Chain A
Amino acid sequence: MSEHLPQTNYLDPEVLQRLGGLELVAREIVEGLRVGTHRSPLRGFSTEFAHHRQYVPGDAIRTIDWRVYGRTDRYYTKLYEAETNFDCYILIDASSSMNYASGKVSKLEYAKYLAASLAYLVLRQRDSVGLSIFDSEVRAYLPPRSSMGIIMEIDRLLRDVKPTPRTSIAKQLHDIALMIKRRSLVVLISDLFSDVDDILAGLDHLRFNGHDVVVLHTLDTHELEFPFKGAWCFEGLEEEEPLTTQAERIREEYLTNFNEYMEALRAGCVSSQIDYTTVNTALPLDDVLSEFVVKRQAMLNGGRG
């Protein structure tokens, strides 16, 4: 890494190093590049040269960098910031349910690291990143900026987050959809423990507004596997009534219900062209991030004919 990494709570240099030159790309940019329209929806925006890209049929001839051709005998297209720059909003669910941890790291902590790493990734590729933290309402909001200095603010905000009970995630999504004016990449980091339809409605609202939505469904490994045996008293983090039960007796049904719910969410996201990824907080962060980014790139490039 050429940039000096600021001293933060939630940026792990090793993780970032492992991420290497990965880029988080917005769907529209890729689609724009694919069809060759290459039109930025934001006219009059800065046309500062960003970098080259190999020429593909459909690119405007005027964008070919002839000097590079002269040097390399290959066609390269110049890309400008206006074509590649996007705003990335990272939404973090800071409700009480995110505070669950079967191990040392809670979902919320994991989400913070995830958000910080993502933010850094976006900033490194000179895109803008903003942050919104919500529970029963939006607790914190940082508008997107492209300077690296925002990372400190993001870090501060993340540090100060305290989980509180939440009523409905859908409402927050709707509120956030109203707040974001410009088409952006919206990354939602949440456990999504709410009504599936409500959640999908909220996400659809964001899609309807033209945003590229990524859902990082953050779950603890115990929530995914339910390994409990014996008698357990499950105390709801969102102030639900506790349940004392025989864990083995309810495991099968729990897994059935849980998987149905996840499948419903996934199906809903796919149908709305929302990028859905399950994040297991037991897995290393860099693996999760790199797998997510690579898969996303592959998924987005996969449409190329």
Chain B
Amino acid sequence: MTFLNPLLLLAGLGVALPILAHLLNRYRVQHTPWAAMQFLNRSVRVRSRQLRLRDLLLLLLRCSAVLLLALALSRPATNDSDGSWLPGERRAGVVIALDASFSMQHSDGQSTRFERALEQIDVISARIHTGDPVTLVLLGGEHRVVIRNMAYESEKFHDILQKQRVSAESLDLDSVPKRLHELAEDMIAHQKEIYIVSDIQSHDWQPRSERLRETLQELDGAASVFLVPVSGSEDNLAVTDLSLVSGTLRKGTVARYRATVRNYGTNPVSDVEVQCRVDGVQIDSKRISLVHPGASETVSLFVPFHNAGATRITAEVTGDSLPTDNVRRVVAVVRDRVSVLCVDGSSGDAGRLIISALLARNEGAEDKDYIVRSVPWLAFPGEDLEYVDVVVMANVPEITPVQAQQLSRFVRKGNGLVWFAGDQVKIAEWNKRSESANEADGAVATPLLPAVIEQVVDNSDAIGAGKPLDPNMPDHLLCRPLQSLPADLLSETRFVKHLKVQPAATSVTVLNVAGSESPILIEHSLGRGHVVMFTTSADATWNNMALTPVFPMLMQQVVTYLVGREFEQPRVVGDSLSLSYTEQPNASDAVFDTPSKNTIDVPVREYRSQYVAMLENAQEAGFYVARVSVQAPGVPIAVNVDTRESDVACLPETELRTVFDDTGITIVTTETELLSAIEAERTGQSSWRFFMLLGLTFLIAESLFADRLLSKQLSRSQSTESTEVRQDV
């Protein structure tokens, strides 16, 4: 027998009270001489032996009542295995973990996995007794406890359950056992059960099967664990990517976006239409004839920008079993105009090459909205950067501290800086200026450049050819145009010299020299802007980049990247969304509108000489709108689902059973199995009601007995007396 409240067994010590009372007031009859005997009612006569027997019986009843009540309060429970004959109820505290990740929205045509999960929970809840503690937790990226240790009440529970919805999050399976363990520990019940109702996706469970086996087995020590898989078909298409490939985000231009569609299912899918919408209006559509199972196909979507401002762009497929991952979103901030200022430290070649690469048009063509100018480096102090979006420093020997701070402020405001190496560059001076660029503002010293320059490295071989680019590129916006280049074309770009640099902690290496880890292109964010650093020259002295298509593609992409805003980068559900300010805003809170039209106020906090409002854990997929205040116009931020969850293939039942064989964890797939499993596992019986009733019965019996016995004696004696009187007469 086990006890839920073992300390309350100490109440059994109360049995000492009736015993003490019995001993203290033990039925020793008190004696007294008495003169007025004639006035005493001799019919109320009690014999000592009778008194002793009665008293002992009453003592027994009282002691039994106290012991039984103490036992009841301690909430005893027995197991069937004990062979207990005690009556009781099979009660248990229940923790229900319902997978609410977006894969549960997958439909087989009749119902979604989530709906089938709710049906299973109905079966589970039908076996919960009113008053037993129940906890309901929705599993996802963050596991949300909906009900915690609530005394079960069927109607109330079902009301709450029906209001639950699938989230856009993916499942963080690693943290599930620990969370469930905490919830089980927090529950007070002599027997506990944990039901994990999930689609048991292979991509989640298979790689973690050993660890899950161990952790869930540990969990089984705290409670009986039931795995209730709600599987479904594996067919699913998802748009896994939508990204800018090329083009400048300027009004009047057309940008090329790449949409990637992946088939997570086991059957090929043909004739997939990918629709592109801009601010909700469909502007392009492409068809993919066939997407093989497990394969991805990309389509190019051309997006014209007729207006300036933040633009919501989506790529979507339709008619799929899981709609949540059928759409991918990005935001593009289309500018009215872009202005690039090239500061040329060379004899003028660098500037010309940069202008050519950026404009990439026949000489004479003009675009009033896209201005690219080059000035000698000595003329830089006289330039007004107010209307410049990107500054390109090409082979500039040095800058003054004031100029360094000016550039730092320029970038932190949200603009871009491109830096090219060259023969004129004074390494020590640049390092010094880079380090001290932010000091005057009292900010934490994020250097201006993304790396510390060390020395010039000569890559030329015997024939004087340099090294090519490393074809292995990260998935960075800057690299994307190059990824579509043929390998031989890419390898034509050769680097004879470059600067060996030590990247800063905040930097991202974009391109490397082949065969080494020396970056050719490295970038970092500084405030709201970015600094892109080429460790090679813009002119042809250190490389032949300008003679290949790489340079213009790269330069245009660089400018596009630099004129973009942070919120243009799409986020994934679960990420934090931030809004940063260079100056202290008037309002103390920023406002985030969610895709479901809710409003969330977020306080603005100072962080590294900036002011940031951060919304943690974006829970919905869609376009959020961030405002500096309620009245201010908002900027959209795209939030997409994590497509790892799109692989909806479920771990087969046989494999699941194999993984959890001999762990004590029960796997149930049907309603019948579930009911049998509950019946089999719920061996404990709570007998407290039985003991409580018995204890109260003994108490009532004791008081009735005490009263009735003497009344009986009285009436018996009175009838004897009246019989004697009649006889006398």
A residues lining the B interface (CB < 8 Å): 96-100, 107, 191, 193, 220, 223, 228, 230-238, 240, 243-246, 249-250, 253-254, 257-258, 261
Contacts of A107 in B (CB 8 A): 35
Residues B29 and A244 in contact, CB atoms below 8 Å apart? yes
Residues B44 and A237 in contact, CB atoms below 8 Å apart? no
Known: A99-B35, A232-B32. 16 other contacts (CB 8 A): A97-B36, A191-B35, A193-B36, A193-B37, A233-B30, A236-B34, A237-B34, A240-B37, A243-B42, A244-B45, A244-B47, A244-B48, A245-B41, A245-B42, A249-B714, A250-B40
For the complex, what is the distance from the CA of A240 to the CA of B36, rounded to whole Å? 10
Residues B41 and A253 in contact, CB atoms below 8 Å apart? yes
B53: interface (CB < 8 Å): no
Contacts of A191 in B (CB 8 A): 35-36
Which residue in chain A gives the minimum CB-CB distance to B42?
A243
Which residue in chain B gives the minimum CB-CB distance to A249?
B44
Contacts of A234 in B (CB 8 A): 32-34, 37, 40
Q: Distance in Å from the Cβ of A225 to the closest Cβ of chain B? A: 11
**Residues of B in contact with A, size category:** 20 to 34
Contacts of B37 in A (CB 8 A): 193, 234, 236-238, 240, 243
Given contacts A231-B27, A231-B46, A231-B51, are A245 and B33 in contact (CB under 8 A)?
no
Residues B33 and A237 in contact, CB atoms below 8 Å apart? yes
For the complex, what is the distance from the CA of A268 to the CA of B601, rounded to whole Å? 102
B39: interface (CB < 8 Å): yes
For the complex, what is the distance from the CA of A240 to the CA of B37, rounded to whole Å? 7
Contacts of B162 in A (CB 8 A): none
For the complex, what is the distance from the CA of A238 to the CA of B39, rounded to whole Å? 14
Given contacts A193-B38, A246-B710, are A235 and B44 in contact (CB under 8 A)?
no
Residues A243 and B36 in contact, CB atoms below 8 Å apart? no
For the complex, what is the distance from the CA of A249 to the CA of B25, rounded to whole Å? 18
Interface string of B409-421 (1 = CB under 8 A from A): 0000000000000
B597: interface (CB < 8 Å): no
Residues B35 and A97 in contact, CB atoms below 8 Å apart? yes
For the complex, what is the distance from the CA of A44 to the CA of B37, rounded to whole Å? 51
For the complex, what is the distance from the CA of A261 to the CA of B48, rounded to whole Å? 31
B31: interface (CB < 8 Å): yes
Contacts of B38 in A (CB 8 A): 193, 257
Q: Distance in Å from the Cβ of B712 to the closest Cβ of chain A? A: 13
Interface string of B683-713 (1 = CB under 8 A from A): 0000000000000000000000000001000
For the complex, what is the distance from the CA of A97 to the CA of B34, rounded to whole Å? 7
Interface set, chain B 1-59, CB cutoff 8 A to A: 25, 27, 29-42, 44-48, 51
Contacts of B32 in A (CB 8 A): 228, 232-235
Residues B39 and A100 in contact, CB atoms below 8 Å apart? no
Q: Distance in Å from the Cβ of B720 to the closest Cβ of chain A? A: 15
Contacts of B34 in A (CB 8 A): 100, 234-237
For the complex, what is the distance from the CA of A246 to the CA of B34, rounded to whole Å? 15
For the complex, what is the distance from the CA of A9 to the CA of B51, rounded to whole Å? 46
For the complex, what is the distance from the CA of A228 to the CA of B44, rounded to whole Å? 14
Q: Which 3 A-B pairs have the closest CB atoms?
A: A97-B35, A234-B34, A100-B35
Contacts of B45 in A (CB 8 A): 243-245
For the complex, what is the distance from the CA of A100 to the CA of B48, rounded to whole Å? 24
Residues B35 and A237 in contact, CB atoms below 8 Å apart? yes
Q: Distance in Å from the Cβ of B463 to the closest Cβ of chain A? A: 125
Q: Distance in Å from the Cβ of A233 to the closest Cβ of chain B? A: 5
Residues B35 and A243 in contact, CB atoms below 8 Å apart? no
Contacts of A96 in B (CB 8 A): 35
Residues B36 and A246 in contact, CB atoms below 8 Å apart? no
Residues A98 and B46 in contact, CB atoms below 8 Å apart? no
By CB atoms of chain A within 10 A, which of B25, B34, B38 has the most? B34
For the complex, what is the distance from the CA of A244 to the CA of B51, rounded to whole Å? 10
For the complex, what is the distance from the CA of A244 to the CA of B45, rounded to whole Å? 6
Residues B48 and A250 in contact, CB atoms below 8 Å apart? no
Residues A249 and B710 in contact, CB atoms below 8 Å apart? yes
Contacts of B47 in A (CB 8 A): 244
Residues A98 and B35 in contact, CB atoms below 8 Å apart? yes
Q: Distance in Å from the Cβ of A106 to the closest Cβ of chain B? A: 10
Q: Contacting B39 at CB < 8 Å: which of A235, A237, A261? A: A261
Contacts of A233 in B (CB 8 A): 29-32
Q: Distance in Å from the Cβ of A258 to the closest Cβ of chain B? A: 5
For the complex, what is the distance from the CA of A235 to the CA of B36, rounded to whole Å? 10
For the complex, what is the distance from the CA of A210 to the CA of B725, rounded to whole Å? 40
Which residue in chain A gives the minimum CB-CB distance to B28?
A231
Contacts of A236 in B (CB 8 A): 33-35, 37
Q: Distance in Å from the Cβ of B25 to the closest Cβ of chain A? A: 8
Contacts of A98 in B (CB 8 A): 35
For the complex, what is the distance from the CA of A97 to the CA of B33, rounded to whole Å? 9
Residues A231 and B44 in contact, CB atoms below 8 Å apart? no
Q: Distance in Å from the Cβ of A164 to the closest Cβ of chain B? A: 14
Contacts of B31 in A (CB 8 A): 232-233, 235
For the complex, what is the distance from the CA of A237 to the CA of B40, rounded to whole Å? 14
Q: Distance in Å from the Cβ of B31 to the closest Cβ of chain A? A: 5
For the complex, what is the distance from the CA of A230 to the CA of B38, rounded to whole Å? 20
Residues A250 and B44 in contact, CB atoms below 8 Å apart? yes
Q: Contacting B40 at CB < 8 Å: which of A99, A230, A231, A254? A: A254
Q: Distance in Å from the Cβ of B525 to the closest Cβ of chain A? A: 94
Contacts of B714 in A (CB 8 A): 249
Q: Contacting A230 at CB < 8 Å: which of B30, B35, B48, B710? A: B30
Residues A231 and B35 in contact, CB atoms below 8 Å apart? no
Given contacts A231-B27, A253-B41, A254-B40, are A246 and B46 in contact (CB under 8 A)?
yes
Provide a sorted-by-A list of 9 A–B residue pairs whose CB atoms are within 8 angstroms: A223-B35, A230-B25, A231-B30, A234-B34, A243-B37, A243-B42, A246-B44, A249-B41, A257-B39
Q: Distance in Å from the Cβ of B34 to the closest Cβ of chain A? A: 4
Contacts of B25 in A (CB 8 A): 230
Residues B29 and A258 in contact, CB atoms below 8 Å apart? no
Interface string of B347-379 (1 = CB under 8 A from A): 000000000000000000000000000000000
Which residue in chain A gives the minimum CB-CB distance to B55?
A231
Given contacts A191-B35, A234-B34, A249-B710, are A243 and B29 in contact (CB under 8 A)?
no
Contacts of B36 in A (CB 8 A): 97, 191, 193, 223, 254, 258
Given contacts A244-B29, A244-B47, A244-B48, are A250 and B35 in contact (CB under 8 A)?
no
